[in-house]
Amino acid sequence: MFTGIVETIGTVTRLDQHDTTASGGGGTSLTISNSAAILEDAHLGDSISINGTCLTVTEFSKDEFKVGVSPETLRLTNLGSLKEGSGVNLERAVSATTRMGGHFVQGHVDTIASIVETRPDGNAITFRLQPRDRSVLRYIVKKGYVTLDGASLTITNVDDAEGWWEVMLIAYTQEKVVMARKQQGDDVNVEVDMVGKYVEKSVTAYFEGSAWDGGSMMEKMVQRMVDERLKGR
């Protein structure tokens, strides 16, 4: 679990394709340097969010660490487009003493979104994004949360019909996340707010029911009304 508050920007210094040791076979291993800020309390097997993707530390030293990336993860995220020298957002998993400055982030990427427009607004930058999988738009609400490349950001505008939403990066945030370096046509990893998913499932179960509860709540209410009506005859 993460908060979406990026701790530092690391640099990809090595990519080993088909590294069976780190990736588990057929994937790629990444070595990321300039990471001393998040490695002071590191252990093998720790989870670290890399551009919003939860990955496991397989090796580490004082300033760099290595993770394995499976073929499935490469297909579903933008990690497959990384090159030597690419910057990546890094965050350690939360601990009992972590301040929840962002929101609950799992590190499970839902889809990739493309930057379709950037425009300055004073010293801030507004990004308009269009997701590859438009079904995630039902979880995107104005003033709600969304995780982009592992950074917790606030949605400033959304258009369900045209299939896009916008976020704004203030000057301070531009210095702290890799998205500020990206341009129109670049991709970002997207994780929607998981609270919305739980609410959707609960509401759906309430009104539509499930196999183990004997039908939907609506059906039960109607049946109760019919039963009471019949008793009154």
Instruction: Tell me the domains of the chain and their CATH numbers.
Output: 8-92 (2.40.30.20), 111-196 (2.40.30.20)
| pLDDT > 70? residue 92 | yes
Percent of the chain with pLDDT over 70: 89
Cβ count near 30 (within 10 Å): 26
Q: Give the pLDDT band (50/70/90) at residue 220.
A: low
Tell me the mean pLDDT in the region 161-185: 96
pLDDT score at 121: 94
Q: Nearest 5°: phi and psi at 133?
A: -105, 105
Q: How far apart are CA 176 and CA 174, in angstroms?
A: 6
Q: How far apart are CA 112 and CA 189, in angstroms?
A: 5
Output the CA–CA distances (angstroms, integers) from residue 152 to 8, 101, 214, in the order listed: 14, 9, 40
| pLDDT > 80? residue 80 | yes
Token readout for 164 is: 């896009």
Token readout for 116 is: 């379709």
Query: Is residue 69 within 8 Å of 28, Cβ to Cβ?
Result: yes
Q: Which residues contact 93 (CB under 8 A, 6 or more apart)?
A: 1, 2, 46, 47, 48, 49, 54
pLDDT score at 180: 95
**Span of 9-18, 45-54, 124-133 with lowest mean pLDDT:** 9-18
pLDDT score at 103: 83
User: Is the alpha carbon torsion for 126, 104, 8, 52 positive or negative?
Assistant: negative
Tell me the mean pLDDT in the region 52-80: 95
State the amino acid at position 205 in one-letter form.
A
Tell me the mean pLDDT in the region 60-65: 96
Q: Name the residue with higher pLDDT: 170 or 103.
A: 170
| pLDDT > 60? residue 195 | yes
Query: DSSP code of 93?
Result: P
